[in-house]
Amino acid sequence: MRRIALALIFAGSAAAPLAGCAEDPSAAAASGAVVAGEPAGTPPGDSGLAVTSPTEPAAAPGHETPTAGRFVAHEWGTYTSVEDADGDSMLGLHHEEEPLPAFVDRRCFGCQSKSLETLPEAVTQKLETPVIYFYSDVARDVTVDVRFPEGLLSEYYPRPVAYAPAFGEALAVADGQLTWQVTVDPAIDPATFPEVDADDIWAPSRRTTATPLRAGAETERFIFYRGLGRFEVPFRVRATTADAVELRNDSAEPIAAAFVLRVTDAGAAMSPAVALSAFGRATVPVPAAPGKSVDGAFVPADRGGLLAALVASGLTSDESVAMLDTWERSYFRTPGVRVLYVAPRAWTDALLPITITPAPDELVRTLVGRVEVTTLPDELDLVQRLADMQVSGETAYGVVAALFDAHGRLVEARLRAAARHIDDPALAAFAAAAIDEASGPFFNIERPLE
């Protein structure tokens, strides 16, 4: 399993420049970009991509509205993993949880596995809804280049001018890259944005004061992208009991805030914020459930700590609310035990190197790590349930269908966590058949169970 190099920005030889971008390091520096990346393929007919190092983080929360003459960029997003009771990441995270509007661009329309034309290897992380906002009081032509060295970027809006790897040439879950050329313009009418329902997952991200942008005929409040990754971050959650988890920060970067949540059908609760120093450890009780009703006051009353942590990271208050509203169902309403934490900025820059040209006066980047926790008692209970279904003669499809209501699109990863405890060869083969069934396309969001 690959582990992202947090101490280093990924370096290599520069690719051929995109038309209009600087061709050498001195010219790039003059335009606010320093060449420090790897070459990448492009779609037929497109030139190469210029890849560069990220802008330094801002020290304080950003402006609610653009200040005269300033150019500001803010980004938020989340990445999701499933960890077993020992804190090891599980494979099987290619299944879709949140469907996107039909207008969103994709590498492959109608394909499974987050719109990838093929999945060259199993994945451990889902990179979900990073959005980039801009603030400017004048129209500006902006080039944005994002790389994903340990993953592939497969869904995006507006349409980029180039992407990598080229279609059909993804040989690993690695070396993803997107480049956009947009015009950020306060004169763009939000009424020109594609229409979405008020309760669509796309809608909350628009509820900010960010300056609209245009790429070709497409307009929006932000740049959006997401994909799949195969990487480890230096943060682990061990859950050998049902009542507490151990949070481990295995990096030199402090983690400002982490939260432990338990959500059940009867109610939900969330721990206060926990700060982890460099290489810090903390044992945190899993909040007792039922707590406050999921359908009542839990979400608006108890998410305030996470909201404050997002604002402290540099996001504006409306950006922070937009993020939490986008992920309300996954974070606060989906049953399970999970840990949410604000990733250090250095992790974000290593995971997703970015270049914005011209360089913004301020760049804020905030990612929230989401770890779906499988406790040891949960794993052993699932082993027993598999044994019972084997005795009853259940099919592999029947196993997955029966577990789907409780575990949703994470059922494959949950099965993998449980299977490590199975010694009996016949039961192990039964579990392996269920895992194989769960990994297939039928259990993606595009083909929900009837």
- The pLDDT of residue 194: 96
Residue 325 — φ and ψ, nearest 5°? -65, -40
Q: In what order do the strands lie in the sheet with 235-238?
A: 235-238, 244-249, 281-285
- The pLDDT of residue 443: 47
**pLDDT < 50 positions in the chain:** 3-63, 109, 442-450
How many Cβ atoms are within 10 Å of 162's Cβ, its own excluded?
A: 24
- The pLDDT of residue 208: 95
- Provide the whole-model pTM: 0.80
Please write down the HEC assignment for all residues of 356-368.
EECCCCEEEEEEE
Classify 69 in phi/psi space as left (phi over 0), alpha (psi -120 to 50) or beta: left
Summarize pLDDT for 350-370 with one digit per residue, the tens.
999 999 999 999 999 999 999
Neighbouring residues of 11: CB distance < 8 A, sequence distance ≥ 6: 36, 37, 38
- The pLDDT of residue 399: 83
Closest to 282 (Cα-Cα) out of 290, 272, 297, 291: 272
